[in-house]
Amino acid sequence: MNKKDNVKEQLGKKNKKLAFFLGMIALSFYGIFVLMHAINE
Amino acid sequence: MSTLAKDNEHDHDHKPTGLKRWFFSTNHKDIGTLYLIFALTMFFVGGSMAMIIRAELFQPGLQFVDPQFYNSMVTVHALIMIFGAVMPAGVGLANWMIPLMIGAPDMALPRMNNMSFWILPFAFALLLSTLFMDGGAPAGGWTMYPPLVLQTGDAFPFLIFAIHFLGVSSIMGAINIIATVFNMRAPGMTLMKMPLFVWTWVITSFLLIAALPVLAGGVTMLLTDKYFGTSFFNAAGGGDPVLFQHIFWFFGHPEVYILALPAFGIVSQIIPTFARKPLFGYASMVYATASIAILSFFVWAHHMFTVGLPIKGELFFMYATMLIAVPTGVKVFNWVATMWKGAMTFETPMLFAVAFVILFTIGGFSGLMLGITPVDFQYHDTYFVVAHFHYVLLTGAVFALMAAVYYWLPKWTGYMYDERLGKIHFWLSVITSNVLFFPQHFLGLAGMPRRIPDYNIQFADFNAISSIGGFSYGLTQLLFVYIVIKCAMGGKKAKAVSWEGAKGLEWCVPSPAPFHTFETPPKLTKEMLEH
């Protein structure tokens, strides 16, 4: 694997990590929100 | 700048062909084009519903449609225009321009980008299929307030799932934009050197991630109330219908800025180009955008002053609403200061941008009026509100989107559009949209309620004028389609720097932009970062 491919792969991993983190934030907003009201109910 | 343009001419421009190119595309430019075509199609679908509304309101009495169908038109028109036209158009522009503006080869997550787009046609197929169902399409307004919305027939689950899908699509799009801007910028493109369009989209993306799950949560609770015996919003079961209004507007007010902030970004690109001056107060523009975004989460209850909030709550939301005028005022001041003593020319993008500044400000002022609690008690649910938000969304957001299309069309197609036709389109649009919406202020002040198919005879004249404006505005937009198609087919060749005063990285690549750009990160010069 040459250096350019390695950089590309690293960047891909970094992008996926950030996307996963942001996705989890969105999901937790949704989950916590519905759960909070369900408990209240 | 020209060196980079020449370098990029050698970019291998081979691209997939046929339907595969569009269905399986991971190219940011192709996906941007798909978003823009989809948004334009939805603009006409939603627009045709607006024509039905204006035809019915042309005269008092019931002329063409029954009240149930009229209410469906009002509801679906709003959902389509917000989620199907303005938002996808903004995402389309973001897809096309953000990688070009920051020197990235593509969006960070290209396959997710493809999925974000292709969810949309399915979501709108779900929504539009309800027009043919027993009980008709949703008719409770785009705000979906219970208990009214729970009376929707077979269309109800389709509405709820369509909203969920739209939310998922937008959140994936937002994640992609954030990852692209944070991880893919060319070396030297620091955050505070990014074009303002990119900044407004980053901030909008955070708004999307924070606001859309709340809407999704709210509509899930509506679904469980209807089909699974819960009573979140059912007073008889110990729930509270007003809770839904809080939830909806906690999403709904940031949503207004999700539609408006990218428009601010577009105008902040166009005005400096045609004033041939750098943007006045770049840093203050970034901070003002962020302030507007943060404040947008603390003003939601100004949409519900009349539900019986405690007086302290009403005062809080009134003052918080007034506070948003400060950063918005900073922006308007900066746009005017950018134009001040500039060597201005008025090509079509600049005309639309200047009209945006003036007309969006009118919409902002009527918003301030509505934000004053005792005044809102008079105007609430009248046509004044309809006039207000159409000034913000049509002469605001849509005008900015039109400006953006004219501004970047040479970069997309490689040809200049017909300037004479563009100017005719602008003047017809600006006149007809004001004939359409300005009289609605008077109707609202005189007490005409919104969302009604029939009205008292005293409102007849202004409604007739408004309808004439509506039909004329609708017809005028056919000219826009003609101009865009004509430009895509050919015309005067566009240069890499299509506008004399254009600055920034996107103008460093040839016109049309090659299929692949910046596969090797560009070496940025000072000139490339001047915007």
For chain B, domain boundaries: 26-529
CA-wise closest residue to B159 among B41, B51, B258, B80: B80
pLDDT in the model for residue A34: 75
Number of neighbours of residue B37 by Cβ within 10 angstroms: 15
Q: Where are the alpha helices (DSSP H) in B399-459?
A: 399-413, 419-445
In CATH, what number does B26-529 get?
1.20.210.10
pLDDT in the model for residue B13: 61
The arithmetic mean of pLDDT across residues B401-421, rounded, is: 97
B170 is catalytic: yes
pLDDT in the model for residue B526: 78
For B371-393, what is each residue's pLDDT tens digit?
A: 999 999 999 999 999 999 999 99
- B400 in contact with chain A, both atoms CB, cutoff 8 A: no
Residue of B253, B277, B425, B503 marked catalytic:
B253
Shortest Cα distance from A6 to chain B (angstroms)?
14
Percent of chain A that is helix, strand, coil (3-state, to 5) = 95, 0, 5
pLDDT band, very low/low/confident/very high, at A40 (cuts 50, 70, 90):
low
Contacts across the A-B interface (CB distance below 8 Å): 61
Contacts of B291 (CB under 8 A, 6+ apart): B326, B327
B106 is catalytic: yes
For B91-102, what is each residue's pLDDT tens digit?
A: 999 999 999 999
Q: Do A30 and B216 touch (CB under 8 A)?
A: yes
Q: Do A23 and B176 touch (CB under 8 A)?
A: no
Shortest Cα distance from A40 to chain B (angstroms)?
9
Q: Do B232 and A41 touch (CB under 8 A)?
A: yes
Integer angstrom CA distances of residue B450 from B70, B194, B447: 12, 42, 9
Q: Do B214 and A18 touch (CB under 8 A)?
A: no
Query: pLDDT higher for A29 or B268?
Result: B268
For B252-261, what is each residue's pLDDT tens digit?
A: 999 999 999 9
Best residue in B171, B234, B297 to probe A by mutation, most A CBs within 10 Å? B171
Q: Which residue has the tokens 């809407």?
A: B215
Residue of B56, B255, B347, B506 marked catalytic:
B255
Instruction: Kindly state the percentage of chain B with pLDDT values over 90.
Output: 93
Dihedral sign for Cα atoms in the order B503, B282, B85, B102 = positive
Which residue is closest to B520 within chain A, CA to CA? A4
Q: Radius of gyration over alpha carbons of chain A, in Å?
A: 18
What the block records as the tokens of B121 is 């046609």
Q: What is the DSSP letter of B82?
A: I
The arithmetic mean of pLDDT across residues B186-203, rounded, is: 96
Give the closest of A18, A25, A34 to B183, CB-based. Answer: A18
pLDDT in the model for residue A36: 72
Contacts of B275 (CB under 8 A, 6+ apart): B338, B339, B342, B343, B344, B501
Integer angstrom CA distances of residue B517 from B99, B427, B521: 9, 36, 9
H or E segment to which residue B167 belongs: helix B155-183
Q: B221 contacts in A (CB within 8 Å)?
A: 34, 37
pLDDT band, very low/low/confident/very high, at A41 (cuts 50, 70, 90):
low
pLDDT surpasses 50 at B9: no
The arithmetic mean of pLDDT across residues B448-457, rounded, is: 96
pLDDT surpasses 60 at B525: yes
pTM surpassing 0.90?
yes
pLDDT surpasses 70 at B442: yes
What count of residues does chain A have? 41
